[in-house]
């Protein structure tokens, strides 16, 4: 069984050389606690690694695309859900939630409805929103913001059920962090809270199914 | 989790951990870059960091693989 430190080094050196080694390639070589440790270390390393300037054409053909997509793939084995994947992708994209919500709303053509978009996005990050209800439009815009593909996000969302097996203590700890960030995000959302409202375009985008 | 762990460390310990673990620098380099640290100190700090990380991961997942 390979050593965690050795595998992390191998991944770092390949990444910095612009290589094609994927997180799942090294994670596959360890199991149990070693795997969890290596996954956490790679995740933290990728968050800190120098960002590459974005060029859509180059990105589509480069190892960076594989790498970013594979971050979701790597996580999927342990906790493959939006709850696990979305915060990490957002961190890797260096976007605060409030900023992501602003851009998501703009990309969906619903600027001015940030508060409702924020509520739905929060539910996505918490694994509370039914993935089948979220439209392809939302996933396309969101994927563009966090550097992956709509297909990857759809796949990650489909693993929702398997993911909710975390121990209650861990879930609670994460919920506290999310609640604090959620409060900050809601404060940052510029639109005032509306009174009782019927379904609108935002509701359709997040609950009306893939073609909404 | 790792960010919380690093944030709880002394600044000199955090720096050598970042250098060795995330910047792939030898312990001797890290010791030379941070005043008052020896190579042995760096090994000890990094070892404690990884041990603590494993403990936290075990708590987070509710498992212990030994």
Neighbours of A197 (CB within 10 A): 10
- Please report, for chain B, the start and end positions of each structural domain, with discontinuous segments joined by +: 2-61
Pair A42, A23: CB distance under 8 Å: yes
ipTM confidence score: 0.86
Mean pLDDT of A50-55: 53
Nearest-Å Rg of the Cα atoms of chain B is: 13
Residues of chain B positioned with their CB less than 8 A from the CB of A40: 1-2, 53, 57
Between the CA of residue A113 and those of A101, A200, A203, B58, B65, what are the distances in Å? 10, 10, 11, 41, 47
- Chain A environment of B66 (Cβ under 8 Å): 33
A40–B63 CB contact, under 8 Å: no
Which residues in chain B are closer than 8 Å to A36, comparing Cβ atoms? 57, 61
Nearest CA in chain A to B24: A9
What mean pLDDT, rounded, does chain A reach?
75
Q: Considering only alpha carbons, which residue of chain A is nearest residue B58?
A: A33
Chain-centre distance of CA A20, in angstroms? Answer: 21
Judge if pTM exceeds 0.80: no
Residue A203 CA neighbour count, 13 Å, CB half? 4
Q: Name the token pair of A93.
A: 């994209």
Per CATH, the number for B2-61 is 1.10.10
Cα angle for residues B6, B12, B14 (degrees, 5° grid): 15
Instruction: For tokens 């084995």, name the residue.
Output: A77
Cα gap A111→A202, rounded to integer Å: 10
Tokens for B62?
């509710």
Pick A40's closest partner by Cβ from B57, B64, B65.
B57
* B40: pLDDT strictly greater than 70: yes
Nearest CA distance, B29 vs chain A (angstrom): 16
**Whether A149 contacts chain B with CB within 8 A:** no
What residue ranges in B1-66 does DSSP mark as E strands?
Answer: none
Q: Helix H segments across A28-167?
A: 32-48, 56-61, 63-79, 82-92, 97-108, 114-125, 136-146, 150-158, 160-163
Q: Which one of B6, B14, B24 would you mutate to disrupt binding with A, by most A Cβ within 10 Å of its Cβ? A: B24
Instruction: Kindly report, residue by residue over A1-17, the tens digit of the pLDDT.
Output: 469 999 999 998 888 88
pLDDT digits (tens, 9 = 90+) for A103-153: 999 999 998 888 899 989 988 887 788 888 899 999 999 988 888 888 888
Residue A139 distance to chain B (closest CA, Å):
27
Interchain CB contact of A9 with B (< 8 Å): yes
* Interface contact A167, partner B, CB < 8 A: yes
């Amino acid at each position: 069984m390979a050593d965690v430190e050795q595998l992390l080094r191998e991944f770092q050196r390949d990444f910095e050389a612009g290589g094609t080694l994927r997180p799942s390639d090294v994670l596959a070589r360890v199991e149990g606690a070693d795997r969890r440790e290596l996954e956490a270390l790679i995740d933290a390393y990728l968050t800190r690694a120098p960002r590459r300037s974005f060029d859509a054409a180059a990105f589509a053909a480069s190892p960076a695309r594989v790498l970013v997509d594979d971050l979701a793939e790597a996580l999927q084995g342990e906790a493959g859900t939006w709850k696990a994947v979305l915060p990490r992708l957002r961190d890797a994209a260096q976007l605060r939630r409030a900023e992501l919500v602003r851009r998501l709303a703009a990309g969906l053509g619903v600027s001015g409805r940030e508060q409702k978009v924020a509520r739905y996005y929060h539910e996505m990050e918490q694994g509370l929103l039914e993935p089948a209800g979220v439209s392809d439009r939302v996933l396309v815009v969101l994927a563009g913001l966090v550097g992956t593909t709509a297909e990857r996000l759809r796949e990650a969302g489909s693993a929702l059920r398997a993911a909710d097996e975390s121990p209650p203590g861990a879930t609670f700890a994460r919920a506290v962090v999310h609640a604090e960030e959620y409060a900050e995000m809601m404060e940052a959302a510029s639109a005032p809270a509306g009174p009782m409202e019927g379904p609108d375009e935002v509701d359709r985008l997040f609950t009306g199914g893939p073609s909404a | 989790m790792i960010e919380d762990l690093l944030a709880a460390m002394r600044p000199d310990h955090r720096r050598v951990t970042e250098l060795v673990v995330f910047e792939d620098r030898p312990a001797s380099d890290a010791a030379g870059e941070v005043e008052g640290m020896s190579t042995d100190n760096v090994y000890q700090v990094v070892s404690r960091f990884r041990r603590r990380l494993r403990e936290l991961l075990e708590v987070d997942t509710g498992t212990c693989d030994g």
